[in-house]
Amino acid sequence: MPNRIKKPSKQALINYFNGNSLADEHKAIEVYLAMEADTAYVEQCLKDAMANTDADILPLSSEQQEQTWQKFDTLLSHQTAKLQPKHSRNWMAYAAAITVFMLSATFAFYFKQPPSLLQSAVVYQRIEAGYGKIDRITLPDSSRLSLFPGTVIDIPSDFNATNRKVFLTGRAYFEVAHNKQKPFYVITSKVTTRVLGTSFEVNAAKGASTASVLLRTGRVCVRSKKFKQLAILHPGQKVTFQEVTGNYTMERVQPDRLLNWIDGELAFDQTSFAQICKELEKWYNITISVQSKPLLNKKITADFKGQSLPQVLDILSATAGFKYKTGKNSIHIY
């Protein structure tokens, strides 16, 4: 390291990550970070800064939020889709991490509060898709949504004023009308997805340990609830966040196949039998109980189009090796 570049103190770096660095320190710190010197030291300071953030801080104004997002977009506009690594040796990775940290204070509030508490003057319209049917709605901005059975979405009365936010519990497919001046946010208890105009699916069921986002067209930014991972998705990519461990996976998928539920078809790709049962309960409006715990973890790949519930169960029983009996609005698998 050249002698003229002094290693910043730990507190100086923490102040920088918090956005509180002194003017004469700010540029020197940026130069130091760009040199990629002592990355372990820098990353530890970043972690310390994150750990000391008050998660209950009041949100920034809508204008401030959007300015931060714009900085984020500029920062990553030429990056390939990727997840933020734990030990990156690239300055852009640090910059992305810094930006995510700056956003955390803003969005922690939204994750911790139910929609009804965010703004006392805002009224929320709740739409619940009943079991056994797909609901389709068109928002005031002309964006179109398909709601998987059992899904709940809350739409604020100020939707499309300065930005477009909806709150989701469950699984939904979005075809977002393009509007560069008004970003579209899908906020769940686990992840937030931001887009300008694209088509994608968010799956964040109540009580589930994972949340996933699958992109069909365009590009989206996805951030986990704890602000420690983020993903920039391109078409045909799917990211899944594990809420308990904080781990994530990125994979290539066939979006048209996995999104066939919009047209009344169901497709499972190495899906646990437990998850399949949950989706069948909503799809057919029934209750399913499974006696065998090992069976719940079994991975199954299957496609169903227009089959009745007995036909689906017969196919699954032949594939997974189980028997079942039916009751009134219930299925017992053993």
Cβ neighbours of residue 190 closer than 8 Å, sequence gap 6 or more: 204, 210, 211, 224, 225, 241, 243
Cβ neighbours of residue 273 closer than 8 Å, sequence gap 6 or more: 290, 295, 296, 297, 298, 299, 300, 316, 320
User: N- to C-terminal Cα distance for the chain?
Assistant: 66
**pTM attached to this predicted model:** 0.62
Q: Which of 48, 34, 14, 25 is nearest to 95 (CA)?
A: 34
Distance CA 195, CA 185 (A): 7
Distance CA 108, CA 1 (A): 38
Q: Which of 151, 162, 110, 143 is nearest to 261 (CA)?
A: 151
Distance CA 287, CA 106 (A): 40
Position 171 scores a pLDDT of 97
For the segment(s) 264-333, the CATH number from 3.40.140.10, 3.55.50.30, 3.40.50.800, 1.10.10.10 is 3.55.50.30
Q: Exposed/middle/buried for 119, CB within 10 Å: 0-12, 13-18, 19+?
A: middle
**pLDDT digits (tens), the chain, 334 positions:** 444 567 888 888 877 766 666 767 777 787 777 666 777 787 777 766 655 543 333 334 445 445 545 544 544 443 333 333 344 444 444 444 444 444 443 344 444 444 444 444 678 899 999 999 999 999 999 999 999 999 999 999 999 988 899 999 999 999 999 998 899 999 998 889 999 789 999 999 888 888 999 999 998 888 877 655 577 888 999 999 888 787 888 899 999 999 999 999 999 989 999 999 999 999 999 999 999 989 999 999 999 998 999 999 999 999 999 999 998 889 999 9
- Sign of the dihedral through C-alpha 212, 217, 223, 229: positive
Cβ neighbours of residue 26 closer than 8 Å, sequence gap 6 or more: 16
Position 207 scores a pLDDT of 82
**Helix, strand, or coil (residue 187):** strand
- Give the domain ranges of the chain: 1-52, 115-256, 264-333
Position 50 scores a pLDDT of 54
Angle at 99 between CA 251 and CA 52, to 5 degrees: 105
In this structure, are residues 332 and 313 in contact, taking their beta carbons and an 8 Å threshold? no
Q: Could you give the maximum distance between any two Cα atoms of the chain, in Å?
A: 79
- The structural architecture, per CATH, of the domain 115-256 is Sandwich (2.60)
Distance CA 181, CA 163 (A): 8
In this structure, are residues 80 and 71 in contact, taking their beta carbons and an 8 Å threshold? no
Sheet holding 324-327, edge to edge: 287-290, 330-333, 324-327
Distance CA 137, CA 155 (A): 11
| Residue where the block lists tokens 């898709």 | 129
**Helix, strand, or coil (residue 88):** coil
Q: Which of 160, 127, 123 is nearest to 146 (CA)?
A: 127
Position 164 scores a pLDDT of 94
